[in-house]
Amino acid sequence: MSFDFGPERFERRDLIVLETGIGRLGVEPDKEALFKFLTFHDLLLEANSNINLTKVIGWSDVVQRHYLDSLSVILAAPSLHEGKDIILDVGSGFGMPGFPLNLIFPGNNFFLLESTKKKLTFMDSVIQRMSLSNIETVLGRAEDLAKKECHRENYSLVVSRAVATLPVLLELTLPFCRIGGMVVAMKGGGVGLEISRSTRALKLLGGEIDKVVDVGERLPCSEGQLVVIRKVSETPLSFPRKAGIPKKRPLLN
């Protein structure tokens, strides 16, 4: 597969919405980074014709619902600008938010955790074919990998997008986060109830709600909210519980 980076390509698929949206997030992307989104999109379309990675495939829809939504993490984690974070994307799927963040902030180190082999195979192909640096995939379930020394409390930033309700998600993410680091839970609108039901989970797992960022203030088309959780104390070794248990028996108040 060949990739055309000429000006006619720029005109055929409008990059203005992407560039404008990124600008609204306080980032000024270079043209090379923008063109890389076109390349990623080509690879997504190619793979999606064989395996079901996403139902949202039209360029303008993907820009709004996947690429800009993923990049909204910068509103919660301005440290991404510094290029020093070690980032774990839990339940990355086909690479959201990991790939967009890597394309714009390549100086950070990214690890994309996914339990579905076909999705991980797609992500590995993207990394190889786009020659991306500082990014790799991790195959497995969060409940199992969080018990391993090489992953436990190893990451300065843990992100997750639409994986589970907040009490469940806290158990799947906080064990990976180092003390002083943070978890960013990417949610839709109306997270108040989920937060109110997470007091027990936060206390048991060593987290503390820092703030909730309303993405719509920067991206008017978005209803997203970012729940920012600070890791304030060590997570007991008994967490996370065995695979499937956090979802079946969440740590509710």
Q: For residue range 101-137, what is the model confidence (pLDDT) as tens digits?
A: 999 999 999 999 999 999 999 999 999 999 999 999 9
Low-confidence ranges of the chain (pLDDT < 50): 1-11
Q: Cα–Cα distance between 95 and 57 in angstroms, integer?
A: 14
| β-bridge mates for residue 213, sequence order | 226
Q: Which of 174, 182, 136 is nearest to 157 (CA)?
A: 182
How distant, in Å, are the alpha carbons of 29, 98, 124 from that of 32?
8, 18, 21
Whether residue 111 contacts residue 134, with contact meaning beta carbons closer than 8 Å, is answered with: no
Radius of gyration of the chain (CA): 18
Q: For residue range 183-195, what is the model confidence (pLDDT) as tens digits?
A: 999 998 889 999 9
User: pTM above 0.75?
Assistant: yes
- The pLDDT score that the predictor gives to residue 33 is 95
Q: Which of 134, 24, 34 is nearest to 84 (CA)?
A: 134
Q: Cα–Cα distance between 65 and 187 in angstroms, integer?
A: 12
